[in-house]
Structure 1
């Protein structure tokens, strides 16, 4: 083959290869890059809109309300189940239960089943017992401000007492219990305290030398000394046996306590001198109080305040009933025609202890 034909064949082959590389299937379309970008943006916008709709739908669903804590507390009471303060304790507990829809339960333990007042107050301070009803008398050992109620003959009558207790000054005394790891909730009525003895007492002179049970505080002890008697501190639950066995000759308390404890059976002479009007106090442990939120604290505080009228009404009824019963049982009731003799004898107690309560005594005088 000549050189000319060889060159022609190579040239022809090159042309074929070039045409094959540049050619293609005319039915296959080429994608526009701009169109692809636009499609991707549209899909992203659609996805974002769907997500926003889903989120909005989720936000419109009501979130379940947070369930509040439930509590079960104990309230210690010295007196019997049918005593006016115990009935008031139970009424207070019922109000708390109703207003909390059963979420807060307060069980009342009457008849000193959790201990006598002084021991219970110590447990309330420690948080071992949640609530208690106590006389303001032994409170003075835990908070000296409450000693003012032990001062003799500072109130004229029950109306005078409540004029003070429901005043700002009375409320401030309750608040002062915070320094003693207790929260004061409300006052209850306890009437007037009188002396009763196993021996006849017709005058102040008849108390001379008698061993008289008193609540444990310095003012009570000084009062007995001022009246010529011998003070014998003793738990309330031991008084009956003390009178019966002669460990003590006399005691002092109000009509309902004199009757309900049947002390009139062993000390049938009751002289109406009205030397003290010491209120009852409903208190809570600070440890218990601090676990409650503000709403529950307000609920319990208001329930305590709302139980006051109930207690006062029950007290007045029971006081009249107790007087009738002890008279019918043969107790000798001695009226005091001139209490000024007793007041004069007790004036040294005011002189010795009154100055530390001067502001409170002035407030008591102002509401007379």
Structure 2
């Protein structure tokens, strides 16, 4: 990261300790002490999604709302597209006050707060509507509140879509169809356990390497939501998309507790109000994007097939038992299941 980019975050001179391949040039331990959180003016946010992504647009919406309600006193500058590093990097920076806001998937939160794990379980949500009903309830608020001891204030929960499997070899209709398939997963113990339990072989590789790996036969497939399947152009090489919808893991918008503590009570209320309204905007944009992605796939050679989910979900009990081990976690899972329509 160049010195002018550090200055834009309110950071003074710092020494470099490591390069992170085109992203953050500093370790959090080096970066954070030189950064001064901003309690007024232009607040900063990070997102690994591209600039036109619904979560980025939602936080920008939030910034405009704050700007209008405070007469220009508060606003938000979002560094999108992973400009400041991976979610793990920026999450650490945010927890120490080097960034004000951060949009992260629940997966990296799992490693710092066990109470976020229930939202990441495969097949725990039966639909997008069910997931939204849960995160909008007291359960969502309680899970977000567990982040405060880690230096983070959970503000709201965004969508991440329903993730399904796609591959180059065959349609997946039953778990037997997954046997022997090499499927890319993120670097997550939970994802690895899920795919292996379904009978396939989990291959953790970076998202940016998936297209080439599919084209060269290094992997047979991967899993993701409709918009990502299209935007990453994976549909050009993986022509089978099977609607397992195994994960509906949401994403969180968090704020640095250091920055939060520096706000007045009125500004805190305003930030929470803006965050809540941004969820409505994010969902509007997300639903629109899903519709557009489905239209793109309908006009492509990709074969899309429905899936009976129960045989897949039945294989997840050992995975749930592996990751859900405390009474508090089990209580959250029970409350999630109780909100199903069926």
The answer to whether the 8 Å contact 1:140/1:217 transfers is no
CA distance in 1, matches of 2:135, 2:67: 26
Shift of 1:230: 2.4
Q: How many residues get paired?
A: 300
Give the aligned partner of residue 366 of structure 1: 338
Shift of 1:255: 0.7
* Structure of higher CA gyration radius: 1
Give the aligned partner of residue 231 of structure 2: 260
Among 306, 309, 325, which residue is 1:335 paired with? Answer: 306
Report the CA distance shift for 1:354/1:142 in structure 2 as closer, same or farther (over 3 A).
closer
The answer to whether the 8 Å contact 1:116/1:237 transfers is no
1:117 aligns with 2:90: no
Which is richer in helix?
1
Shift of 1:329: 2.6
Give the aligned partner of residue 73 of structure 2: 103
Give the aligned partner of residue 288 of structure 1: 259
CA distance in 1, matches of 2:209, 2:89: 14
Encode CA deviations 1:157-214: one digit per residue, 9 max, x unaligned: 1221122111111101011111221111101122211011233233323322333222
Among 172, 189, 192, which residue is 1:221 paired with? Answer: 192
CA distance in 2, matches of 1:330, 1:126: 48
CA distance in 2, matches of 1:243, 1:181: 39
Shift of 1:271: 0.8
Taking structure 2 as the reference length, what is the TM-score of the superposition?
Answer: 0.81
1:137 aligns with 2:103: no
Among 314, 318, 325, which residue is 1:348 paired with? Answer: 318
Could you list the runs of 5+ residues in structure 1 that have no partner in the other structure? 1-67
CA distance in 1, matches of 2:255, 2:209: 26
Could you list the runs of 5+ residues in structure 2 that have no partner in the other structure? 1-37
Alignment of 1:298-313 (within 5 A): 298-313=269-284
1:163 aligns with 2:133: yes
Query: Residue 91 of structure 1 aligns to a residue in which SS?
Result: helix
Report the CA distance shift for 1:214/1:145 in structure 2 as closer, same or farther (over 3 A).
farther
Alignment of 1:140-151 (within 5 A): 140-151=110-121
Query: Residue 49 of structure 2 aligns to a residue in which SS?
Result: coil
The answer to whether the 8 Å contact 1:116/1:236 transfers is no
Give the aligned partner of residue 154 of structure 2: 184
Among 208, 211, 216, which residue is 2:182 paired with? Answer: 211
Query: Larger deviation: 322-331 or 173-182?
Result: 322-331
Shift of 1:353: 2.8
1:201 aligns with 2:203: no
Taking structure 1 as the reference length, what is the TM-score of the superposition?
Answer: 0.76
Encode CA deviations 1:316-337: one digit per residue, 9 max, x unaligned: 111111111122132221211x
The answer to whether the 8 Å contact 1:150/1:220 transfers is no
The answer to whether the 8 Å contact 1:127/1:286 transfers is yes
